[in-house]
Structure 1
Amino acid sequence: MKPIQRSRWRLAAGICYYRLKRYGDWLFDQKQYARKREKELFEHVHFRHQTPLLRRLKNVEMWMQHNKVTNLRLAVQRLDGIVIQPKETFSYWKLIGKPTKSKGYLPGMLLSHGRVTAGIGGGLCQLSNLLFWMTIHTPLTITERHRHSYDVFPDANRTQPFGSGATCFYNYMDLQITNETKQTYQLHLYVTQTHLVGEWRSSMPATRRYEIVEKDHAIQPSLWGGYERKNRLYRNVYSIDGEWQQEEWVTDNHALLMYEPLLPDGKEG
């Protein structure tokens, strides 16, 4: 996993190629993409989660996070109420569209090759992280997810397992969710003064609940220098009455550490 150094022009050409490829996929593939929105909320909440809007992170100026809140509010407006019917696929970027200055998006925090930078629409990974975490607690199927290639911040105050999110970058690093069940699901999102909040809802009550567990976690020195971190995520599936049914693999994660792994808990240098 030694980082590959590419020229600015090589990176720009790669982005152009993969964006055009994604546009072609949206036009010509055989997927049925979710488009319908319902203002009235479905009755049953299958899973709910929230994440704080503002966190103090090393080497991240707070103005980036305040701008991120604006960006999240704009993206939430595009996704709130989206309904995924059986056989339909939810595409994160197809629904949000390209975040641009003309649409009101502001410069926010972006992670580029493990380094913090600012860019228009920055901070929307918090929303894709939330959606991934929520979805793996439902019968919906993640059909496209991109893992974070770099672990940038230490685990201080982390409440979820490493690798339990999904990175995003318009438009080719997409998050896609397919409804392979027989019931319809609705996404409900909103932003409070302090948190980003999401729910997966349905007109029918849940028949299962899920517990995410981490296995084979390791932080190891790499041959080229630095450290690599890896793990596997699984989920335990229970009946609504609490009876264990089965264990299911969710994903494997592998990332480069961008901090000193031997610091005491809560110390960021």
Structure 2
Amino acid sequence: MARAGLERHRSRGCLGLARGRADALQDRKIDLSVREVYPAVDASGFAEALAKARAATTPLTVRVEDRVVSEDAAGLASLLVIDRVLAKPGELSTPPAGAIVPATRYRYTVSLDEARVTDWVKALGVKLDRPAVAAKYSASKEGTLSVIAGVNGIRLDQDKMRSLMLAELLTSATTASRELAAPAIPDSTAFTTDQAKEWLPKLSKTSTFTTYFPPSRSRFANISTGASQFDGVVIMPGQSFSFWNLLGPVTVERGYAYAGAIIQNRSDENVIGGGLCQVSTTMFNALSKLGYQIDERHAHGYLIDRYPLGLDAAVFDPGVDFRWTNDTDVPVFLWSWVGDTFVTFDVWSMPTGRTVTFSDALQKNFVDVPPDQPADPAFPKGVSVKGRDVFRTRTVSDASGKAIHQDFFASHYAPVWGGPLPAPATPPAP
């Protein structure tokens, strides 16, 4: 009991001492020294960047004649680069006297990413350009020509537009939107209407060639759609021709269908645009006998007997093209005719005095169909075609007899068949 009483006495004594100290603090006045801590980036460090960002993201309209393209703030913001950089003396506002100032202060900058601006201008050109359309000819079945007038075009001057964007976009706009008149330059065509009229009375049909194909609605659609892309095309002196560059995309939307084609030496009956090789082969034969420079020609995977031996011209995108160059002094004009089972290409130009001879086909290295080779769906059972190499030489001479071109067309054809005939039925037992 004595110890317990002593502990209670000590506790009361400590509590009394604490209360006395608290009372003493409440009665005293203490002055605290306060200093402002200044931020590493203050409002002045954002001001210029914010003004430029607002200017750059002002909705923009770009106009070339009657064509207009608009870009919103989000699209323009994608052209900006925002950086935090070390502030130099005098670039920021002066801190209040006595403030604690960081040893290093920063500010933000806004600039244009020149590579992004370049890409943006390229995309703008796609929208604003109006390419020139070359003059063409139209041919009638009676053999008369008429001129289809060309159309002058206009295209964005991308270098000047890029400079204009870099100079103007970060400047303050005075209205809620900004409009720029895009610098443009005329887009001229290689063959004008006046040139077409000048050449018209001088042109005549210099070559024609026809190939035939089995009746097929889908094949007809592909051949007629493909051949029509070359109607009226004029290849000027010195100009090169690419089948794929002029044909354009092969899609269902453009009228093409799924039909048979040769893929890796075997028929595939479900290829979009199957049959376009008939267009290129017909065109090749119409042109090659006039002596033009042949730049690229490929054989099919297997021999097709409806084409001249060793003078087919397969095409496949990508990588297999038919290309040639008009290496004469006069323009060349193409026209096609397509029926249910045939395609014809006519070539109109002027006589050049060239003579063209083809060697007979040299066939070598015949290969029988291996018995284990899969059947090709385009061939009936029991029908086979041997593989072989075929060589043809084309010699082109000018009017004096001097050789201009000597081409060696080498074709390798794989063997193909429709599979073995069914075994004869076993006669019934007597």
TM over 0.5: yes
Question: 1:211 touches 1:236 (CA, 8 Å); kept in 2?
Answer: yes
Are residues 1:48 and 2:195 paired?
no
Are residues 1:66 and 2:217 paired?
yes
Q: Partner residue of 1:135?
A: 287
Match 2:407 to one of 249, 254, 258: 249
Question: 2:328 touches 2:352 (CA, 8 Å); kept in 1?
Answer: no
Q: Return closer, same or farther for 1:252/1:39 CA change in 2, 3 Å cut-off.
A: same
Distance 2:313 2:290 in 1: 16
Q: Partner residue of 2:389?
A: 230
Q: Partner residue of 2:326?
A: 179
Q: Per-residue displacement from partner, 1:191-243 (whole Å, max 9, x unpaired)?
A: 134420101111x2242343322343114349x99864112211355788xx9
Question: 1:135 touches 1:141 (CA, 8 Å); kept in 2?
Answer: no
When normalised by structure 1's length, the TM-score is 0.67
Question: 1:98 touches 1:170 (CA, 8 Å); kept in 2?
Answer: no
Question: 1:235 touches 1:250 (CA, 8 Å); kept in 2?
Answer: yes
Higher helix share: 2
Shift of 1:37: 5.0
One-letter amino acid of the counterpart of residue 98, structure 1? P
Q: Partner residue of 2:136?
A: 38
Task: Could you tell me which runs of 5 or more consecutive residues in structure 2 were left unpaired when the two chains were aligned.
Answer: 1-132, 139-144, 146-199, 374-385, 419-430
Are residues 1:94 and 2:240 paired?
no
Shift of 1:179: 1.1
Match 1:216 to one of 343, 348, 362: 362
Identity across matched positions, percent: 25
Across the aligned residues of Structure 1 and Structure 2, the Cα RMSD in angstroms comes to 2.9
Are residues 1:199 and 2:199 paired?
no
Distance 2:135 2:410 in 1: 33
Distance 2:303 2:361 in 1: 21
RCO comparison, higher one (Cα < 8 Å, 6+) = 1
Q: Per-residue displacement from partner, 1:44-98 (whole Å, max 9, x unpaired)?
A: 12210111232xxxxxxx6xx3211111111122111111111111111111112
Distance 2:362 2:273 in 1: 35
Distance 1:36 1:139 in 2: 25
Q: Return closer, same or farther for 1:77/1:37 CA change in 2, 3 Å cut-off.
A: farther
Task: Could you tell me which runs of 5 or more consecutive residues in structure 1 were left unpaired when the two chains were aligned.
Answer: 1-34, 55-61, 261-269
Higher strand share: 1
Distance 1:235 1:244 in 2: 14
Q: Per-residue displacement from partner, 1:111-136 (whole Å, max 9, x unpaired)?
A: 11222112111110100111111221
Distance 1:147 1:160 in 2: 11
1:11-26 matches, within 5 Å, as: none
Distance 2:307 2:414 in 1: 20
Distance 2:417 2:204 in 1: 42
Shift of 1:159: 6.2
Distance 1:52 1:228 in 2: 22
When normalised by structure 2's length, the TM-score is 0.44
Q: Whose Rg is larger?
A: 2
Q: Return closer, same or farther for 1:93/1:107 CA change in 2, 3 Å cut-off.
A: same
One-letter amino acid of the counterpart of residue 127, structure 1? V
Question: 2:303 touches 2:387 (CA, 8 Å); kept in 1?
Answer: no
Question: 2:234 touches 2:334 (CA, 8 Å); kept in 1?
Answer: yes
Distance 1:218 1:112 in 2: 23
Q: How many residues align?
A: 208
